[in-house]
A and B are shown apart, each in its own frame.
Chain A
Amino acid sequence: MRGQPDSSSGSVGRRQFLGRAMTGAAATTLTPVARAAPAPAPKTDARAPGMFELNINGHAQLFALDTRTTLLDALRDHVVITGAKKGCDQGQCGACTVLVDGKRILSCLTLAIAAQGKSVTTIEGLAGAEDALHPMQQAFLDQDAFQCGYCTPGQILSAVACVEEGHAKDDASIREYMSGNLCRCAAYPNIVAAVNQAKPQMQIKKA
């Protein structure tokens, strides 16, 4: 995060640091446990890390992170799954969209510590264990619903939620309810086609 002091960097390269953070206290995999997040005691020193637990793509993980860490940075820099993208980091582009307790939200405007105890689904966890791809992922491929691909993980998660919310009634409704995901390549017509393709398949799968 911009302007955030990082005591671990120094001369250590980014990848080295990330690797170290993974094996250190920053993110500990506890697979698979379902237990309530510990209630953090009120802190008076802003330097003390926030301790909390998130369930990410079905795996419970403990975190000890600077309270300023957003959910997006926790995913990308500490869990080291980089599907959720940092586009604007201001809640304007939708590239960081993830599902929290099944609802699409912006991970760049969510403090990781405020998501404690919740289930987070990223693009990496979208397809079921037995499926190669989720129907929406396949539809994006079939309909050529992207060019550069940067906004695509956010688009796909948003599209999945759009169908599940019942907001994919027609093209106009899809456009309105997908308006929080910007695509600089302007693949919009193909994104609408992909949502239309995946919608009946998602409904069959559910039934």
Chain B
Amino acid sequence: MRPFTYARPAALDAVAREFPAASAGTATGAPVQFLGAGTNLLDLMKLDVMRPSSLVDLTGIDAAPLRRIEATPSELRLGALVRMAEAAEDPVILRDYPVLAQALQLAASQQLRNMATLGGNVLQRTRCLYYRDTAWANCNKRNPGSGCAAREGVDRQHAVLGASEHCIATYPGDFAQALIALDAQVETQGPKGRRRFPFAELHKLPGDTPHLDHSLAAGEAITGFTVPAGPWTRRSLYLKIRDRASYEFALASAAVALQLEGTQVRAVRIALGGVATVPWRAREAEAALIGVVLDETTAAAAADAAFAKARPNRQNAFKVPLGKQTLVRALLTVAAKEG
């Protein structure tokens, strides 16, 4: 690991003042990085993929709103320093927002969930083998302009949605799918003050700048997430399909939330994981379901709509039928659930 200086500020204001160049990881190459638990960043530093010369540890910040889970009738608020395990077992989240709890519980291991912060979780880097192995010179995410080793390589784990000719790396997380499905907002604080914006605007499609994972500005740190309450949040779930039963990243996943009126779909929220370059909201699938009776046929039609623009590469074509079946099963399961 390369040497770095370490700072552990106690106040958010000090972060913005003293570390205006700090990055929550917008680019792999940023020299000053925010540190949460380090479950992803330290791993990538050991691999020499990330090479910061300075770490700003945010876990020492003494601000209750960053460490709290608060539920009101209108919204759920999650502080950025809340640990995954804590949110996964919060009784209100389990009862009223099960898709959030399940997405967290099905990720990583209990040791990692005890460590990892929610703010850091959504900013985790891709697991693309070529991104994580510096022996491959050509990775546009790691070395902008160097090419993409995955396009001609082993791409079984790679994305079929949202890829560009420059990058087909999959967004690996689970919690972000639940957040994007429920129209969450992100709260941040940085040198230009505080702001709040849709979670859907946090991650950037690779396009021709795959080295920019996020839309956060220099020095801007995530302070929390808000999830609006809705009649669909209780009837929600996260379904994750993977190569082994536990402790593995998704091959395909679906976050779904449903509001029924009689037997008809009044509102539905769908996001897909394991198949796309960013947390993926499947609005075409949602549109296909409004007003219809949810059954195997209509769910399959929605799944077809979700993957209509899928572009498989070489070994990842299986993700199209797998992703569709995952979504169908998630929809039928959530429809059968108590509302």
Contact = CB atoms under 8 A, between A and B. Distances in A.
Contact of A175 (B2, B38, B110, B246): B246
Contacts of B18: 42
Contact of A165 (B2, B3, B110, B115): B110
A66 B5 CA distance: 10
B110 A167 contact: yes
B246 A176 contact: yes
A133 interface: no
A90 B43 contact: yes
B112 interface: yes
Nearest to A102: B114
B57 to A, nearest CB: 6
B72 interface: no
Interface residues on B, range: 20 to 34
Interface in B159-181: none
Interface in B35-92: 35, 37-39, 42-43, 46-48, 53, 55, 57, 59, 85
A65 to B, nearest CB: 11
Interface string B16-32: 00100000000000000
Contacts of B1: 1-4, 68
B5 A67 contact: yes
B6 A43 contact: yes
B317 interface: no
A67 B59 contact: no
The residue in A39, A44, A114 that gathers the most chain B C-beta atoms within 10 A of its C-beta is A114
Interface in B198-220: none
A201 B59 CA distance: 36
The residue in A3, A111, A161 that gathers the most chain B C-beta atoms within 10 A of its C-beta is A111
Contact of A162 (B6, B110, B112, B247): B110
Interface string A93-112: 01001000001111001110
Interface of B: 1-8, 10, 18, 35, 37-39, 42-43, 46-48, 53, 55, 57, 59, 85, 108-112, 114-115, 245-247
A89 B46 contact: yes
A40 B8 CA distance: 8
A164 B55 CA distance: 33
Nearest to A103: B114
A47 B3 CA distance: 7
A177 B2 CA distance: 34
A42 B5 contact: yes
Nearest to B47: A90
Contact of A179 (B37, B55, B247): B247
Contact of B3 (A42, A68, A158, A181): A68
The residue in B5, B35, B37, B48 that gathers the most chain A C-beta atoms within 10 A of its C-beta is B5
